[in-house]
């Protein structure tokens, strides 16, 4: 799980207190109760983590000659409030030494990844979510297919993922939900309130459609994006980066908003074909913004003489770069069948899909 440490400042702007709310799973792991609430906190800069265990230990801290914290060992008491009789109604908080947060580089975005083990809780600093735009220069190349497979692959690895789209057709939903599930969406979600509404008029949790465990989508209710939207969108993304580990944007190439999406993104993933128009478009993208290109994925590949030649040219272009370039995705009827059923490549055991999965795994491994 990921939790935010609450930082309180004095009137002069200096930090006064750092407090972490403890989830019930953390309390259960530590076996801490209102009548037995002593906790020992250990921190090692070398290991980059905080460990909590029940009880008291000798208190000590170590600093280098410049006064920077190397290690810390101290005792804390969990502060309980709320109902004494009903555990689910209790609120439990723990103070975290500000010196420790400073050493971990968490004074601006104090988020912790928390792992519960029997008798122990381990906490590590987490960076803000990363934004990837899946970009193409024309339609039909597999942009949405790529976004969905990457998104679900990340979700299966335990990361919380948000899929965004600028296409009001919302093909992401068609590629991830059965026809029956898709037809029932209006019963549960207000489909008139999507990305545009969330950015311009206020965001609500129930706008987001849960596609799979850890995988969410905010549909586009309109493909019309105003200047006001373009101005507000970066702030919206900053807030979402606090909630999601990865944000994937499935962008329409013919719209001006595509430029805004790319500017807001940390990286770009380029699906492509091995034909002249698409190859030329990919070449142009590489020449204008190679620093953001994370990976290039050849889709619907057929090992013909012409396609082999374009594939070789792409390989030569990328030889001296760090861009991920996995084996091409072959044109398979199995992929089309999966999309028709609203399933991803990770939801089939078919052997002929192994190469496709491995190509996406190459991209995922470079992202994680």
- Give the pLDDT of residue 254: 63
pLDDT in tens, 316-360: 888 888 999 999 999 888 898 999 999 999 999 999 999 999 999
- Residues linked to residue 6 through DSSP beta bridges, in sequence order: 19
- Give the pLDDT of residue 164: 97
- Give the pLDDT of residue 52: 96
- Give the pLDDT of residue 237: 94
- Give the pLDDT of residue 113: 82
- Give the pLDDT of residue 102: 87
Give all domains of the chain, ordered by start, each with its CATH number: 2-125 (no CATH), 130-367 (3.40.50.300)
Overall pTM > 0.75: no
**Low-confidence residues in the chain, pLDDT < 70:** 9-16, 83-89, 109, 127, 254-255, 289-290
The 3-state secondary structure of 172-224, one letter per residue: HHHHHCCHHHHHCHHHHCCCCCCHHHHHHHCCCHHHCEEEECCEEEECCCCCC
Query: CB of 154 within 8 A of CB of 129?
Result: no
From edge to edge, which strands make up the β-sheet containing 215-218?
A: 209-212, 215-218, 161-165, 246-250, 130-134, 267-272, 293-298
From edge to edge, which strands make up the β-sheet containing 49-54?
A: 2-4, 111-117, 120-125, 49-54, 38-44, 69-77, 60-63
**Of 7, 36, 11, 2, which Cα lies nearest the Cα of 19?**
7
Q: What letter does residue 67 receive in the DSSP assignment?
A: S
The whole-angstrom separation of Cα 237 and Cα 185 is: 25
Distance of alpha carbon 349 from the chain centroid: 26
């Amino acid at each position: 799980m990921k939790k935010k440490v609450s930082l309180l400042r004095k009137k002069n702007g200096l930090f006064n207190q750092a407090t972490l709310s403890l989830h019930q799973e953390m309390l259960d792991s530590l076996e801490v109760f209102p009548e037995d609430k002593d906790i020992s906190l250990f921190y090692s800069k070398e290991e980059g983590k905080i460990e909590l265990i029940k009880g008291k230990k000798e208190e000590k801290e170590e600093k280098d000659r410049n006064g920077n914290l190397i290690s810390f060992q101290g005792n804390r008491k969990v502060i309980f409030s709320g109902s004494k009789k009903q555990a689910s109604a209790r609120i439990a908080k723990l103070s975290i030494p500000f010196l420790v947060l400073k050493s971990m580089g968490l004074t601006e975005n104090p988020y912790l990844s928390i792992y519960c083990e029997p008798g122990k809780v381990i906490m590590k600093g987490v960076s803000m979510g990363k934004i990837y735009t899946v970009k193409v220069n024309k339609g039909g190349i597999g942009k949405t297919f790529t976004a969905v497979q990457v998104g679900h692959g990340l979700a299966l690895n335990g990361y919380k993922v948000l899929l965004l789209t600028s296409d009001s057709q919302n093909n992401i939903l068609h590629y991830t939900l059965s026809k029956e599930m898709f037809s029932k969406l209006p019963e549960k979600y207000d489909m008139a309130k999507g990305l545009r509404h969330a950015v311009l008029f206020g965001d609500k949790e129930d706008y987001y459609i849960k596609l799979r465990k850890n995988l969410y989508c905010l549909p586009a209710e309109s493909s019309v994006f105003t200047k006001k939207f373009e101005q507000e969108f970066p702030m919206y993304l900053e807030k979402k980066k606090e909630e999601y580990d990865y944000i994937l944007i499935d962008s329409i190439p013919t719209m001006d908003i595509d430029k805004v999406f790319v500017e807001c993104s940390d990286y770009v993933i380029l699906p492509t074909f091995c034909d002249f128009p698409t190859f030329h478009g990919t070449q142009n993208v590489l020449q204008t913004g190679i620093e953001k290109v994370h990976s290039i994925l050849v889709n619907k590949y057929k090992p013909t003489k012409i396609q082999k030649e374009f594939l070789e040219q792409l390989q030569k272009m990328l030889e001296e770069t760090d861009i991920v370039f996995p084996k091409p995705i072959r044109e398979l009827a199995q992929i089309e069948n999966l999309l028709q059923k609203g399933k991803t490549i990770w939801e089939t055991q078919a052997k002929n899909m192994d190469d496709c999965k491995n190509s996406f795994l190459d991209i995922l491994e470079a992202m994680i």
